[in-house]
Structure 1
Amino acid sequence: MQVLKQHVPNYRSRRVHESSPCGRGVSKRLKRECRKYTYSHFFPDVSGGEIHPERGERSENLEKLSFRDELFDLFITQDVMEHVLDPAAAFREIARVLKPGGAHIFTVPLVKKAAKSERRAERAPDGTVMPLAEVQFHGNPIDEQGSLVTMDWGYDIAEFIDDSCGMSSQIIMIDDMKRGIRAEYIDVILSRKR
């Protein structure tokens, strides 16, 4: 929220989409405060743009979004991009659906720090998922089994985003105990569509 307030102070009136909200914290606040807020989850068995029959929530695959070009001012993902099998495609799609000057603000654990980012899993030509490292899962708000970690990101994520889709990115780290902000993986990445 601090990055949002500093870099997109008019976020409440902007068209915002959040992928895979967790149902608490920032997600709840965005839903409550932003008049033009929408969200989606990835349901592998539901086509993009369709509504999950039991959950009543929109399904979207970040690698192939069903939204039209230049629809959103702001795209939010919180701890999602380390679970995408083709992150270059996902960053291209997010850039495509952002309006010029729009922003993708997201969190992702930068576990590699200054070392080069590494893939942990990839999609084989037949569509199956091939682990490249010890299999690791993180929590998932819609699947109690969790989400497979596919990337161990480092600070080179900013260059990866630029190479993938041309968005310029900055990594923002806030350490402010007056606001209760201190953690090892506290980085927020702000990518802007030129």
Structure 2
Amino acid sequence: MSNMSQEKNPSNFHFETAGRCPICEKEVTFSSSDPWLRDHFVCHSCPGGSLPRERALMLSLRRHFPNWRDLDIHESSPGRNGASVVIKRDCRNYIESQFFIGVTPGEFVDGVRCENLESTTFPDESLDIIITQDVLEHVNMPSSVFQDCARVLRHGGAHLFTAPTYKNLDLTLRRALYKESEVEHYFSPEYHGNPIDPNGSLVTFHYGYDLPNLIREWSGLDVEVSRFSDAYHGIIGEHLEVYVAWKR
């Protein structure tokens, strides 16, 4: 069933549709009372609720790695709901990390490993899957991130990630640059939510359609991009690309 009504006043907006959630694997009704579906089209059956981009990533994970529960997975900056909760719960070799300021990479804070994605402490060819969900638009040097992914992934492994891709951008746009003692802003500062920092995370990049080519140039990884409009799995809205950067 699908029902959609939108007036000029967003408070009158309601959209819902029935389908199957790829995270909780249940027949559910997805719903939103906000026209920005990417952040509000929720599956309430998932732990803490789940969003379309999480469902897109989980669907891709299940399709590309049906044996993901038995693999070595590192997820950087996982959320506290939806896909991250289920992957952590069901993968026997799951490692979560956050970037804690002032903590030595490789050390643990309350059971969570500290890692800088631009230079992790994982051994060479030690991971099957790396997952980041809306993280890469906040890093300072994405080239270093993907070079490190190529180092630590085993052959046949991949970095699965979501990152907003702007349909009006042919070329990726840097918005801010972290320097040793300051941040250089090229546009008005933009922040997104951060699970460990109430001040949020600064957006350093708006990615364009050149991102797959950039990743190949930086790292040699082979990139596939899936763009979703999938009501049955609750994957509707803007910026729902899932990237799979393979180490062949």
Distance (Å, rounded) in 1 between the aligned partners of 2:77 and 2:165: 19
Verify: 1:154 aligned to 2:198, yes or no. no
- What amino acid is aligned across from residue 243 of structure 2 in structure 1? I
Structure 1 or 2, whichever has the larger Rg, is: 2
Deviations 1:164-187 (A, max 9, x none): 100010110121111211011111
Cα 1:127–1:164 change in 2 (3 A) is farther
Supply the AA of the counterpart residue of 1:143: D
1:68 counterpart = 2:123: yes
What SS does structure 1 have at the residue aligned with 2:115?
A: coil
| Contact residue 223 and residue 244 of structure 2 kept, 8 A | yes
Q: CA deviation at 1:107?
A: 0.2
| Aligned pairs for 1:135-174 within 5 A | 135-174=189-228
Instruction: Tell me, yes or no, if structure 1 residue 3 matches structure 2 residue 60.
Output: yes
CA RMSD of aligned residues (A): 1.2
TM-score (norm 2): 0.74
Q: What TM-score, normalized to structure 1?
A: 0.94
Give yes or no for the alignment of 1:190 onto 2:248.
Answer: no
Q: 1:136 to 1:68 in 2, by over 3 A?
A: same
Structure 1 CA distance for aligned equivalents of residues 100 and 214 of structure 2: 26
- The unaligned stretches of length 5 or more in structure 1 are none
Identity of aligned residues (%): 43
Contact 2:131-2:161 within 8 A present in 1 as well: yes
Query: C-alpha distance in 2, partners of 1:3/1:21?
Result: 17
1:25 corresponds to which residue?
82
Counterpart-to-counterpart distance in 2, 1:184 and 1:170 = 18
Q: Which has the higher strand share?
A: 2
2:165 corresponding residue in structure 1: 110
Residues of 2 paired with 1:120 and 1:100: CA distance?
33
1:89 aligns with 2:147: no
Amino acid at match of 2:215: I
Q: How far apart are residue 148 of structure 1 and its match?
A: 0.4
Helix, strand or coil for the counterpart of 2:144?
A: helix
Return the letter of the residue paired with 1:72: L
CA contact (8 A) 2:169 2:207 kept: no
Structure 2 stretches of 5 or more lacking a match? 1-57
Q: 1:66 to 1:121 in 2, by over 3 A?
A: same
Residue 79 (structure 1) aligns with: 134
Cα distance per residue 1:3-56 (max 9 Å; x no partner): 11111111111111100001111100101111111110001211110112xx44
Does structure 2 retain, via aligned residues, the 8 Å contact 1:113–1:153? Answer: no
Structure 1 residues 173, 112: closer, same or farther in 2, change over 3 A? closer
SS at match of 2:112: coil
CA apart distance, 1:134: 1.0
Of 131, 136, 144, the match for 2:185: 131
Alpha carbons 2:147, 2:219 under 8 Å: kept: yes
SS in 2 for 1:145: strand
2:235 partner SS: coil
> Following the alignment from structure 2 to structure 1, what is the Cα–Cα distance between the partners of residues 76 and 181?
23
